[in-house]
Amino acid sequence: MKNISFFYFTTGLLLTLSCSEKNIVKEKIEKPVVTILIQPFKDIKTETVAKVTEGIKNVYPNVKVLNAIDFPENTYYKERNRYRADSIIKFLNKETKEGFVTIGLTSKDISATRGKIKDFGIMGLGYRPGKACVASNFRLNKENRDEQFYKIAIHELGHTQGLPHCPEKMCFMRDAEGKNPTNEETDFCKKCKTFLINKNWKFNSI
């Protein structure tokens, strides 16, 4: 009888330890929630940064705003009075730690190489994947400018997480195709949102 009791006690203990070990392993595997760092450059207005931040937070709450900084000297393209988006991203990338993604905000004209065009004016740039991106309101319409700006920012943030352009017209990841369709965009589509959730993005609403 004692042997039977000991058997059940031992079995129960092993099961308890086994479950505990599984929980420990699960906790170790779980990735931390991504934190979006908003890095304004000194040219941009504080109120503009606040409105872009508010727009991003309405979609994704885990956001922190950094103190405004100067552009690194090597980012300025004197011939066109522009700032090179790729050089800005390279700079921000070095400053961004694991578990974070940085979006640089500016009101200056930014550019990047596109195909055979060495210096093509753009609204934003984000590498797929990457730890940093940049957005500018220089080329945005005066009407709904702040709303458009946060949509450009969140589009580039999506690229850093590995999202490609999306065929859905209402999706933040829609390809601008050289235009500005941001007024038609309302949210990440279900497919893009699911992709980001798998990247451990914690949205305000699903």
pLDDT at 19: 47
Measured distance CA(8)–CA(134) in Å, rounded: 62
CA dihedral 149, 194, 160, 109 (to 10 degrees): -20
Residue 97 has pLDDT above 80, yes or no: yes
pLDDT band at 114 (very low <50, low <70, confident <90, very high): confident
pLDDT at 121: 93
Q: Where are the alpha helices (DSSP H) in 124-201?
A: 145-160, 190-198
Phi, psi for residue 65 in degrees, rounded to 5: -95, 130
Tokens of 106: 């500016």
Give per-residue pLDDT as tens, 164-199: 999 999 999 999 887 888 989 999 999 999 999 998
Residue 26 has pLDDT above 90, yes or no: no
Measured distance CA(200)–CA(206) in Å, rounded: 13
Among the residue ranges 1-15, 84-98, 120-134, the one predicted with the least confidence is 1-15
Residue 6 has pLDDT above 70, yes or no: no
pLDDT at 205: 61
Amino acid identity of 82?
Answer: R
pLDDT at 1: 53
**Averaged confidence pLDDT in the chain:** 86
pLDDT at 67: 98
pTM of the model: 0.82
Give per-residue pLDDT as tens, 84-96: 999 999 999 999 9
Residue 104 has pLDDT above 50, yes or no: yes
CA atoms within 13 A on the CB side of 156: 28
pLDDT at 202: 83
